[in-house]
Structure 1
């Protein structure tokens, strides 16, 4: 049986997603308007949304249904 590689994350998921969104936005800034740029901007928005959703799910205000 093959052992699975495991990585210890040094940053939280929210930080990694925010960094990825920032990297993608910088990459999109150097591209001319067009379909390639739009794809990269869409990925950046998805990463930002994922970071916000993860923060929301971890928040103390979120309560399970009673």
Structure 2
């Protein structure tokens, strides 16, 4: 995990992203992994990130543009 995805908006990039997500979910779903403790600092950082508001879409961006 922690890989930087370049060009994730392309079809192959989206498949790669989805594949990595599925692998991560499958890995963390294993019983021996569910019993592991998470780093408290990592959890705090994640909570802080999730507490931030989502970015609003740009008013000039088209829903159909490949550059969104």
Highest relative contact order (Cα 8 Å, sep 6+), 1 or 2? 1
Instruction: Please identify which structure carries the higher helix content.
Output: 1
TM-score normalized by structure 1?
Answer: 0.40
TM-score normalized by structure 2?
Answer: 0.39
